[in-house]
Amino acid sequence: MFSDYDYDIAILGNDPAGVLLAQKACREFARVVLIEESGFVSDDCIAGLSHLVGMARFESEHCIVCETEQGGISITAEHIVIATGSTAVGPRWMIDHSQVIFAEEDDFSEQLNCFIAVDGNSVELVSGKEHLSRETIASSIIGLSDEQGQIRVFLASGESTLVDTVVVSQLEQRGRTSSLNLEAVGLFADDRGCLWCNENYETWANGIYAIGNVVGYPSTECTIEKQIEIVMNSILALRTASVCV
């Protein structure tokens, strides 16, 4: 069926969900392009897939510009799927210091004299080389400073304490959407940089979908595989309806 667009589906981003979607889309559509910020996917690893490497941004609802090393390439697509993923971001008070680290709770070392473990709003003072003791502090951290080989932790209660190490056990995930120029298509990310979608994982802009970690809602309701299935079924249903008309 003739189309005025360069591609049937354009997939934006490095999220593994985008690669899985590309594999499935190439079985149903002749013209599929994957635009990656970094070239993790080999150009010939998915039969029939077009591949661009560079920063993508929206120009209009169906037009995307990919800034490659050779310059900007403008393409159009009937359907666009945002799969840019997310990146871990430390809390605002976190400083770049060798004694301020990220680790899962299971990685906490008992060899430290004492350290603060931060998990969301929970703050614990953990101390003891031989016998680990934990004390929950009913306050949140508002700042850190380096103080002669130790870290001073400032709490919202107005108190402060010196510790050997600050361990952040949970980092916030933020959607990688800031460079997409979402305003050009009337989209806005939430306060975590994520996109909200309907039950078909379509954003508030017609024909623009999102999958993977960039989805703010309803990402927790189904697996990546299910998200891909829902998106593909939605796009295929539109194609069938168009053919019938």
The residue ranges of every structural domain in the chain are 7-87+173-244, 91-168
pTM to 2 decimals? 0.77
Average pLDDT, the chain: 85
> SS3 of 191, please?
coil
CATH class of the structural domain 7-87+173-244: alpha beta
Bridge pairing between strands 71-82 and 150-155:
unpaired
CB 31 within 8 A of CB 39: no
d(CA 191, CA 216): 10
- Rounded mean pLDDT, 98-121: 64
d(CA 79, CA 7): 8
Conformation bin of residue 25: beta by default, left when phi > 0, alpha when psi is -120 to 50:
alpha
pLDDT tens, 49-73? 999 999 999 999 999 999 998 999 9
The kind and range of the H/E element at 244 are helix 224-244
Closest C-alpha among 134, 147, 137 to residue 95 = 147
- pLDDT at residue number 117: 66
pLDDT band at 86 (very low <50, low <70, confident <90, very high): very high
- pLDDT at residue number 47: 86
d(CA 242, CA 245): 5
d(CA 164, CA 7): 56
pLDDT tens, 197-239? 999 999 999 999 999 999 998 876 789 999 999 999 999 998 7
Burial class (CB in 10 A: 0-12, 13-18, 19+), 1: exposed
Q: Give the residue, 160 or 220, on which the prediction is more confident.
A: 160
Tokens 């933020």: give the residue: 174
Instruction: Tell me: pLDDT of 39 over 80.
Output: no
